[in-house]
Amino acid sequence: MLTLLGLSAEPTQAMAAEDGDCNDGETAIDTDRPDVTNSSVVVPRSSVQVENGINWTTRQSGTSIDGSNTRLRFGVASCTEILLDLPDYFHALRGPAWAGFSDLSPAIKRQLGHSPGDIQWSATVGLTLPTGTTRIAGSGYGAYAQFPWSREVGDGWGLSGMFTAFWMPGAGANNPTLEPTFAIERQMGSRADLFVEYVADHPRRGIASQLVDSGGTFRITSTQQIDVRVGVGLNRAAPDHLFGLGYSLRFDHLL
């Protein structure tokens, strides 16, 4: 695990964005939700951002709800934030399913410089700690590495995506699971954004799941946001349908 952290730190230091390229707190809230693709921009230094949501998911085997999907983001330095995903509770509404909490997951995220083509990158390295219900979260420790990116196309249009490698607790020979995402975004006025996204999960063994989702965000103020997400699975390995709602807010000049 320490090796993984060390390898991830080297390119991060080499590609680190200049201080002036990172969020200075004067811009509107930019969240990692509601889509799977995370923001390529970190929260401002000395700010705390709280992102919350609830999901309703249907599969052939049943229906479940989970919440509150809380992610805490701390701007600890210029171009750097600390993430903390709190345990999420899962409850079955229909059919056989296990109830319980997911794991606690800390991480560190670094905003990187622009690559050729004016693409903004960031890098995240995180752990999953064995604090949740074993039948929900698996047994033992896990880890992940993520590389979100984004590019403004013009006229309110943008492209974004993310590549993630997950080492799932207790997955053994099925590790790692690779997850690419790709999203098309459209700004609607000064406060709203819409997106359409493709997500695929590729375990080392077994069938990959494929999902298309869409939704949007609306900024109540420059530091508060509500969001909605609707998705449909493209094969039997993915959920049949999903629906999510969320609320996020940011507190500036705290740390």
High-pLDDT (> 70) share of the chain, % = 90
> Would you call 142 helix, strand, or coil by DSSP?
strand
pLDDT digits (tens, 9 = 90+) for 9-61: 344 344 545 555 686 667 899 999 999 999 999 999 999 999 999 999 999 88
pLDDT of residue 117: 83
pLDDT digits (tens, 9 = 90+) for 202-233: 999 889 999 999 999 999 999 999 999 999 99
The yes-or-no verdict on residue 1 having pLDDT over 80 is no
Instruction: Go through the domains of the chain in sequence order and give each one's CATH number.
Output: 2-251 (2.40.160.40)
Mean per-residue pLDDT for 144-157? Answer: 96
Q: How far apart are CA 217 and CA 230, in angstroms?
A: 12
pTM of the model as a whole: 0.89
Q: How many CB atoms lie within 10 A of CB 150?
A: 22
Q: How far apart are CA 237 and CA 227, in angstroms?
A: 26
